[in-house]
Amino acid sequence: MSLRIYNTLSRALEAFSPLEPGHVRMYVCGMTVYDLCHLGHARSMVAFDVVQRWLRASGYRVTYVRNITDIDDKIIKRAVENGETIRSLTDRMIDALHQDADALGIERPTHEPRATEYVPQMLSMIGTLQQKGLAYQAGNGDVNFAVRKFSGYGKLSGKSLDELNAGERVAVADGKHDPLDFVLWKSSKPEEPADVKWASPFGEGRPGWHIECSAMGCEMLGESFDIHGGGADLQFPHHENEIAQSEGATGKPFAQTWMHNGFINVDNEKMSKSLGNFFTIRDVLQAYDAETVRFFVVRSHYRSPLNYSDVHLDDARNALKRLYTALSLVEPAAVQIDWASPYAARFQAAMNEDFGTPEAVAVLFDLAGEVNRSKSPEVAGLLKALGACLGLLQDDPQKFLQAGAAGVDVAAIEAQIAARATAKAEKNWAEADRIRKALLEQGIVLKDSPAGTTWEAAQ
Ligand SMILES: [Zn+2]
C-alpha cells in the first residue's frame, strides 16, 4: 500500500506521488520570531517532523523548507520596547527556537530561509502581480492584492468571496478595493526604525506576511511543489492568500497537497495569554521531559484537536515508561526493518494512511509486550527501529527510567544510594533500610541486583 494524505484543498484522502519521482519538496510555515515558541508551535513542528521522517523512511529524498518570519509588526514593537535592533531580537529568538526544537527531537529542516533575506524575490513577485493586474497601489502607498481579480480565491477555504466577506466586520479601509484585499507591500511610516525599511519601485517599505511564504516557497522549491503545511489556523487567510499570490504570478498550481495540523487546547480551553493557560515549550519542559512531550503529541493523530493537561502528560509519561521498560530488559539488536514482517507491515500500513500515528504507536506497545514475554533482542531491535521513525525510544532506557521524572535531583539520589551501600557494607541494616524508606517517600524505588543498585521514579 502506498501513502495517502488528506489534502485540505480537495477535502479528501489522496494517493501521494511527488511531482519529481523519488524527491518530495515540502514547505511548512514557520515561526514569527518575536518571542519564545509555545505549545502550538511544538505541535506543528513535531507533526511535520514525523511527516518528513516517514517520507524518508519510505525511501524518498526530502527537501524540507520551514521559513522564519523575521520582519513583522510584532517584531518591530518588541524590538522597540526592548531598545534593541530587529536583528538582535530575531537572532536571539531563532537560537531559542533551535534549542527548543532540538530538545523535542525535531530534525532541522533542509533550509530555514529568513524572510529579510528574500526581499528582492518578494518584490519581483509583487511586480509580476501588478503587471498582471492582480495588485494595485492604494492611496496610502501600500500595494494590495486584488482578490476579485483572482478567480480561484477561496478554493482552499471552500468558500466564495461573498461568504468570506460576510465574516469580515471591518469596513473597507486604507483605500482597499475589497475588505479581503491584503497587503503585499507596506509603505514605511516615519516613526518606524531604519532597519525595517527597504527601497522598492513602490517606495520605501517592507513586505507583507503572506508574500514572504510565496516568494520563499517558489525560490527554494520551485513554482510547483508537493506538500505545503502549517497549523489549521493558517488555512485562512494566510494559505488562501499564498495560493492567490503564487498562482496569480506563475499561472501554475502552487502546492499539490495542503496539510494542516489540529489545534492544541489546554484543559479543554483554547490556549491564550488572557486566560492564563498559555505555555511556552520551556514552561512545559520544566515539568516534563522532552520525549514525554513529544510522545504526547505523536500518539494523537496530527489532524485531531489535542488537549494538554497534566493528567494527559502524566499518562504519556507512564506509557512511554512501559516502552522503555521493555527496552531495558534486553540489549536491542541492530536491525534493518523488514517491512514484510507482521509488526512492521502493520506499522507501515498505519503510517501510510495519512500518517496514522495512534495505530503506529499501538504497534510499539504490542512489540513491547512481545519483548516482555520473549526477551528477544531482535524484537527489541525492531521496537527501537520503528520508534526511530517517530523520533522516539532512542535514549538509553536506564537513563530515561531514572531521570525522566521532573524535579528529581539525580545527584542527591545517587549520594543516598552510595550512603546506603556504605551502611550495608558496614552491616548497618537499620540505616540502609532507613535510606531506602526515605527515598521511597520521595517516590524513588530502589532495585538491588548483584551488579549494584538502580533506581526509578515511581508514578
Ligand atoms: Zn506561510
Question: Which of helix, strand or coil describes residue 266?
Answer: strand
Give me ligand 1 centre to Cα 212, in Å: 7
Summary mean pLDDT of the chain: 93
pLDDT computed for residue 405 by the predictor: 52
Count of domains for the chain: 3
425-459 pLDDT, tens digit each: 888 898 899 888 888 877 788 888 877 788 877 65
**pLDDT tens figures, 310-342:** 999 999 999 999 999 999 999 999 999 999 999
Per-residue pLDDT averaged across 224-252, rounded?
A: 97
Do 379 and 325 lie in one domain? The reply is yes
Q: Does residue 183 share a domain with residue 42? A: yes
Report whether 259 contacts 49 (CB < 8 A): no
Residue list, CB under 5 A from ion ligand 1 = 29, 213
Say how many Å lie between the CA of residue 213 and the centre of ligand 1: 5
Q: Please give the distance, rounded to the nearest whole angstrom, from the Cα atom of residue 239 to the centre of ligand 1.
A: 7
- Domain match, 173 and 287 both: no
- The answer to whether 264 touches 40, Cβ cutoff 8 Å, is yes
Same domain, 295 and 323: yes
Last residue of a domain, one of 400, 421, 442: 400
Together in a domain, 294 and 359: yes
Same domain, 85 and 187: yes
Report pLDDT for 408.
61
pLDDT tens-digit profile of 70-118?
999 999 999 999 999 999 999 999 999 999 999 999 999 999 999 999 9
pTM over 0.85: yes
pLDDT band at 409, cuts 50/70/90?
low
pLDDT class of 122 with cuts at 50, 70, 90? very high
> Rounded to whole angstroms, how far apart are CA atoms 432 and 410?
19
Q: Compute the distance from residue 424 Cα to the ligand 1 centre, in Å.
A: 63
Neighbours of 45 (CB within 10 A): 26
Q: Give the distance (Å) from ligand 1 centre to CA of residue 427.
A: 67
Residues 6+ apart with CB under 8 A from 152: 243, 244, 247
Cell numbers at residue 273, please?
A: 495569554
Identify whether residues 142 and 213 lie together within a single domain.
yes
Q: What separation in Å is there between the alpha carbon of 207 and the centre of ligand 1?
A: 13
Torsion sign, CA atoms 179, 185, 187, 189: positive
- CA–centroid distance, 66 to ligand 1, in Å, is 9
Q: How far apart are CA 291 and CA 392, in angstroms?
A: 7
Clarify whether residues 250 and 291 are in a common domain: no
Q: What's the pLDDT band for 273 if we cut at 50, 70, 90?
A: confident
Asked which of 400, 417, 434 is the last residue of a domain, the reply is: 400
Centroid of ligand 1 to alpha carbon of 210 (angstroms) = 6
Centre of ligand 1 from the C-alpha of residue 29, in Å: 4
Q: Is residue 61 domain-shared with residue 13, that is, in the same domain?
A: yes
**133: domain range?**
4-261
Distance (Å) from CA 26 to ligand 1 centroid = 12
The amino acid present at 259, given as its one-letter code, is M
Closest CA to 20 of 236, 226, 268, 287: 226
Regarding whether 235 and 366 lie in a shared domain, the answer is: no
Q: What SS3 state is found at 33?
A: coil
Nearest to 101 by CA among 66, 71, 57: 66
pLDDT at 1: 61
How far does residue 335's CA lie from ligand 1's centre (Å)?
39
In a shared domain, residues 168 and 281? no
Separation between Cα atoms, residue 244 and residue 256, nearest integer Å? 14
Indicate the residue among 261, 281, 316 that finishes a domain: 261
Q: Is the pLDDT of residue 173 over 70?
A: no
Distance 142 CA to ligand 1 centre (A): 20
pLDDT of residue 407 exceeding 90, the answer is no
Task: Tell me, in angstroms, the distance from the centre of ligand 1 to residue 243's CA.
Answer: 10
CATH of the domain at 247: 3.40.50.620
Taking the centre of ligand 1 as the mean of its atom positions, its distance from the CA of residue 68, in whole angstroms, is 9
> Cα(350)–Cα(315) distance, rounded to whole angstroms?
23
User: Are 67 and 83 within one domain?
Assistant: yes
238 C-alpha to ligand 1 centroid (Å) = 6
Residue 30 CA to ligand 1 center (angstroms) comes to 7
The strand ranges marked E within 177-236 are: 182-187, 205-207, 225-231
CA of 8 to the centre of ligand 1 (A): 15
Q: What are phi and psi of 429, to 5 degrees?
A: -65, -35
